Amino acid sequence: MSDALEAFRAEARAWVEENFPPSLAGKGMGMEGELDGDTKADFELWRARLGEKGWGAPTWPQEYGGAGLSHPQAKVVSEEISRVGGLNPIPALAGMGITMVGPTLLEYGTDDQKARHLPATARGEVRWCLGLSEPNAGSDLASLATKAEDKGDYFQLNGQKIWTSGADISHWCGALVRTDPSAPKHKGISFVMLPMDQEGVETRPIRLISGASPFCETFFNDARAEKSDLLGDLNDGWSVVKRLLQHERQSQTSAGSPMASAKSKAIQDVAKEYAGTDDSGALADGDLRSRLVNHLMDARSHSLTVRRITAEAKGQVKVSAAASILKNSATRISQTKSELTLEIMGAQGLGWEGAEFTAEEKNTVREWLWGKAISIYGGSFEVQKNIISKNILGLPETTQKG
Amino acid sequence: MIRDQAQAWATEQAPVAAFRRMRDAGVANRFEPATWESMVEMGWTGILVPETYGGSDLGYLTFGVVLEQLGRQLTASPLYASALVGASAVLLGGSDAQKEALLPKVVDGSEILTLAVDEGPRHTPGTMATAAEADGDGYRITGRKAQVLEGMSATAFIVAANGPNGIGLFLVPADASGVSRTALSTVDNRGYAHVDLVDVRVGGDAHLGDADVLEAVLDRARAGLGAEMLGVASQAFDMTLDYLKTREQFGRVIGSFQALGHRAADLYSQMELARSCAEAALMAVDAGAEDTAELCSLSKAKVGDFLHEMSNQLIQIHGGIGMTDEFDAGLYLKRARALEPLWGNQAFHRDRYARLLGF
């Protein structure tokens, strides 16, 4: 590591030590009543201090609420926060704001849009959801039907979105809407931003096979999006959303399951506990052992690939075509891990509720079910393969043109 | 820079067409002497050797870059056996005097070393029947080594044998009394030999270290082979992708069929992951990293899996033309399958990886 980065680490460490409220060490996001009155106030203080420092979105420019840091510096910041047992709550509080909407706004937004939306997002005060998929527009997103009519100063939206993560608690929504029904399907689409707290917007949470979920259905009935909140050019929303989805893939390339806790036990140790070992210390179930080692090798080769691609990009985490490779590989590893854990736990892995099952066991079954979504959202397994074959390998388009 | 040099040289001076000509002509040692001389002239035999002994000391990652390019053209030579595996054994297990005696000759090509470990059809480096008994101030070695790489052209064998301290490595000149060798004719047309040792007398200075050195040498051999295998597989991928873009059936290029587009995407993804493993193993060896053994097994297994699949798809996607001897696909398939078991196949390395991880 360079001297400059080491100097930055010393600075970051000093700031974290001075500003991180020790009462929050080892505490989560306060979702499960983990925080009482005092720690709640500390949580709010910590969020505000991080926001003020620009570390909610550290790589964004300072004028838009970031800290103008390089990616290696941002990594140092998150390492230093982890070191004291803390976490940065802002990316989660902002919903899709930090990972997807913000980077796209920085690229496509006007100065006015960036000034109005980014600073509050970077402080974790504004939560964003995305209205992209519709009941009849999933992998074929460009066939979406939600209509936006030009009403002079504003667009009037009518239609239904689905899988809008966190819509019921979000402040703003970035929505893909049809602004020119007569144009070919990719050409008549625009990207608009609208506040969720208005009469024409209604949300309904969706219960999944794994239980409660952050997903919602979102209904627009004469909802209003201001013209000044059109992102990118009119009828050029497809370019905006392609970029947005690249940012999404990039954020989904890590093989860690979204529900797995950092403290979770290594899968080989779980296997030894449930399936037993022979005299040599090897797993007694030879078939399981070879599938397990195969999985662990896949996981290792994935993380080595993330490291290699990052190094080849010289520290700049580029949004690249490689994201499709990494998303699919992360998906496969995560789903295989869930299937293996479920198999290892046997009948105990089927527990849904009650004291007869450990928290780990009940979490495993939910994680397994939830994991089925990973190969569907953010561009399905098959869509990623289309992207690889067309964009990286230069093979002809395999899907229908529209 | 060395990548460009290796690529240009291999494609111009030692392409797969030259390998084919050599095969058809039935060259005795299974490589062209002129090819080997050029490699020596370019200094590739000294990539691992310190400057004191006439080498360039560039390390394993650099050697891997060269081997990958040679793998792409199936270029035949004793470079890998002698300058990577043999030189590693001398560097890791040799005394200053042994290094002084051997390394300059490895670099100038006058000495061709090769490692002789396995005695049967499977890789079992932990057990062997070959014995090296103390005999005066030296050793007396008896046993049989199977499928020794470049066994006919080697000038000296580095023989693994049960010695006074358990398994050890012993340098045995190929012309020593009691050494005989039998050339093998194998599907991949590379140079292998069975080597018989009957009461072969070597001096005390023939000892090149014990079991720990053997293990470390084998890991370097695996990391290097991973690079060569990656080269073979990458070329097979490129040939296949090119065919997908040019071969027409049903009025369109076959790469426009989604079944094939997705298969190509899968193969490409596997190739990227395999490359990361191959490079990580070589870098770990260079850095002396603690997890070197894990990464070398990972590389041999993951690159092996990819090469296996890719070599089969090379034939399948090319269809009938892929089955003909006139086309090169078969040469790649044969080489692929011959490299998989060398120093442990995928199953060997999965088992080893699991043991290293404690299960």
Of chain B, the percentage scoring pLDDT greater than 70 comes to 100
Contacts of A325 in chain B (CB under 8 A): 268-269, 272
Q: What's the rounded Cα separation, in Å, for the pair B27 and B114?
A: 19
pLDDT of residue A3: 86
Q: What's the rounded Cα separation, in Å, for the pair A40 and A35?
A: 5
Contacts with B212 (C-beta within 8 Å, 6 or more apart), sequence order: none
The distance of B290 to chain A (nearest Cα, Å) reads: 15
pLDDT of residue B60: 98
Total of domains in chain B? 3
Summarize the confidence of residues B164-185 as an average pLDDT: 97
Residue B298's CATH number? 1.20.140.10
Q: What's the rounded Cα separation, in Å, for the pair B334 and B188?
A: 5
Nearest to B273 among A301, A388, A390 (CB): A301
Q: Is A248 a catalytic residue?
A: yes
In a domain, B207, yes or no: no
Q: Which tens digit of pLDDT belongs to each residue from A197-245? A: 999 999 999 999 998 889 999 999 999 999 999 999 999 999 999 999 8
Contacts of B265 in chain A (CB under 8 A): 384-386, 388-389, 392-393
Task: Say whether B359 and A289 touch across the interface (CB within 8 A).
Answer: yes
Q: Which tens digit of pLDDT belongs to each residue from B59-98? A: 999 999 999 999 999 999 999 999 999 999 999 999 999 9
pLDDT at A256 over 80: no
Of A197, A13, A194, A18, which Cα lies nearest the Cα of A101? A194
pLDDT at A372 over 90: yes
Check whether residue B222 and residue B308 sit in a common domain. Answer: yes
Which of B272, B282, B291, B297 is most worth mutating to test chain A (most A CB atoms within 10 A of its CB)?
B272
Which of A274, A326, A389, A399 is most worth mutating to test chain B (most B CB atoms within 10 A of its CB)?
A389
Q: B124 at the A interface (CB within 8 A)? A: no
Contacts of A297 in chain B (CB under 8 A): 298, 301-302, 350, 353
Task: Give the structural domain span for B171.
Answer: 114-202
Task: Say whether A305 and B302 touch across the interface (CB within 8 A).
Answer: no
Contacts of A282 in chain B (CB under 8 A): 354-355, 359
Residue that is last in its domain, among B202, B228, B255: B202
**Domains contained in chain A, CATH given:** 3-93 (1.10.540.10), 128-237 (2.40.110.10), 252-392 (1.20.140.10)
pLDDT band at A193 (very low <50, low <70, confident <90, very high): very high
Check whether residue B165 and residue B224 sit in a common domain. Answer: no
Residue B23's CATH number? 1.10.540.10
pLDDT band at A250 (very low <50, low <70, confident <90, very high): confident
Summarize the confidence of residues A65-92 as an average pLDDT: 92
Chain centroid to Cα A390, Å, comes to 25
The values of phi and psi at residue A125, to 5°, are -95, -20
pLDDT of residue A31: 52
Task: Say whether A290 and B266 touch across the interface (CB within 8 A).
Answer: no
pLDDT at B111 over 60: yes
Task: Say whether A305 and B264 touch across the interface (CB within 8 A).
Answer: no
Contact by Cβ (8 Å): B295, B236: no
Closest Cα in chain A to B355: A282
Residue that is last in its domain, among B111, B129, B164: B111
pLDDT of residue B92: 98
pLDDT at A298 over 50: yes
Q: ipTM of the predicted structure?
A: 0.95
pLDDT of residue A327: 94
Check whether residue B306 and residue B225 sit in a common domain. Answer: yes
Check whether residue B106 and residue B122 sit in a common domain. Answer: no
pLDDT band at B172 (very low <50, low <70, confident <90, very high): very high
The distance of B345 to chain A (nearest Cα, Å) reads: 14
Q: Which helix (H) or strand (E) holds B149?
A: strand B138-149
Residue B140's CATH number? 2.40.110.10
Q: B3 at the A interface (CB within 8 A)? A: no
Contacts of A289 in chain B (CB under 8 A): 354, 359
Q: What's the rounded Cα separation, in Å, for the pair A71 and A315?
A: 7
Q: What's the rounded Cα separation, in Å, for the pair A322 and B332?
A: 27
Q: Which tens digit of pLDDT belongs to each residue from B299-344? A: 999 999 999 999 999 999 999 999 999 999 999 999 999 999 999 9
Check whether residue B237 and residue B305 sit in a common domain. Answer: yes
Q: Which tens digit of pLDDT belongs to each residue from A17-59? A: 999 999 888 877 655 456 777 888 899 999 999 999 999 999 9
pLDDT at A338 over 70: yes
pLDDT of residue B1: 82
pLDDT of residue B97: 96
pLDDT of residue A30: 57
Check whether residue B254 and residue B314 sit in a common domain. Answer: yes
The distance of B350 to chain A (nearest Cα, Å) reads: 6
Average pLDDT in chain A:
91
Check whether residue B254 and residue B194 sit in a common domain. Answer: no
Sign (positive or negative) of CA dihedral A193, A196, A202, A207: positive
Check whether residue B19 and residue B88 sit in a common domain. Answer: yes
Contact by Cβ (8 Å): A267, A344: yes
Summarize the confidence of residues A48-74 as an average pLDDT: 95
Q: B256 at the A interface (CB within 8 A)? A: yes
Nearest to B273 among A305, A385, A394 (CB): A305
The distance of A75 to chain B (nearest Cα, Å) reads: 22
Chain centroid to Cα B23, Å, comes to 19
pLDDT band at A316 (very low <50, low <70, confident <90, very high): low
Check whether residue B352 and residue B269 sit in a common domain. Answer: yes
The distance of A300 to chain B (nearest Cα, Å) reads: 8
Question: Looking at the DSSP assignment, which residues form a beta bridge with residue B133?
Answer: B140
Chain centroid to Cα A63, Å, comes to 25
pLDDT at A259 over 70: no
pLDDT of residue A262: 45
Contacts of A307 in chain B (CB under 8 A): 276
Summarize the confidence of residues A115-139 as an average pLDDT: 95
Of chain A, the percentage scoring pLDDT greater than 90 comes to 79
Contacts with B74 (C-beta within 8 Å, 6 or more apart), sequence order: B16, B19, B232, B331, B332, B335
Task: Say whether B275 and A308 touch across the interface (CB within 8 A).
Answer: yes
Check whether residue B219 and residue B351 sit in a common domain. Answer: yes
Helix (H), strand (E), coil (C) string for chain A? CCHHHHHHHHHHHHHHHHHCCHHHCCCCCCCCCCCCHHHHHHHHHHHHHHHHHCCCCCCCCHHHCCCCCCHHHHHHHHHHHHHCCCCCCHHHHCECHHHHHHHHHHHHCCHHHHHHHHHHHHCCCCCEEEECCECCECCCHHHCCCEEEECCCEEEEEEEEECCCCHHHCCEEEEEEECCCCCCCCCCEEEEEEECCCCCEEEEECCECCECCCCEEEEEEEEEEEHHHEECCCCCHHHHHHHHHHHHHHHCCCCCCCCCCCCCCCHHHHHHHHHCECCCCCECCHHHHHHHHHHHHHHHHHHHHHHHHHHHCCCCCCCCCHHHHHHHHHHHHHHHHHHHHHHHHHHHHHCCCCCCCCHHHHHHHHHHHHHCCCCCCCCCHHHHHHHHHHHHCCCCCCCCCC
pLDDT of residue A255: 55
Helices (H), chain B: 2-13, 16-25, 33-41, 60-73, 79, 87-93, 96-108, 211-246, 258-287, 292-318, 320-323, 329-339, 346-356
Task: Say whether B353 and A296 touch across the interface (CB within 8 A).
Answer: yes
Q: How many Cβ pairs within 8 Å bridge chains A and B? A: 115
pLDDT at B53 over 80: yes
Please enumerate residues of A whose Cβ is less than 8 A from a Cβ of B.
268, 271-272, 277, 281-283, 289-290, 292-294, 296-298, 300-302, 304-305, 307-308, 322, 325, 328-329, 382, 384-386, 388-390, 392-399
Task: Say whether A398 and B256 touch across the interface (CB within 8 A).
Answer: yes
Average pLDDT in chain B:
97
Closest Cα in chain A to B298: A297
Check whether residue B151 and residue B273 sit in a common domain. Answer: no
In a domain, B297, yes or no: yes
Task: Say whether B277 and A304 touch across the interface (CB within 8 A).
Answer: yes
pLDDT at B251 over 70: yes
Of chain A, the percentage scoring pLDDT greater than 70 comes to 92
Q: Which of A248, A356, A360, A367 is catalytic?
A: A248
Q: B291 at the A interface (CB within 8 A)? A: no
pLDDT band at A399 (very low <50, low <70, confident <90, very high): low
Check whether residue B221 and residue B293 sit in a common domain. Answer: yes
Contacts of B253 in chain A (CB under 8 A): 396
Closest Cα in chain B to A306: B276
Lowest mean pLDDT among A23-37, A144-158, B22-36, B104-118: A23-37
Residue that is last in its domain, among B177, B202, B227: B202
pLDDT of residue A257: 41
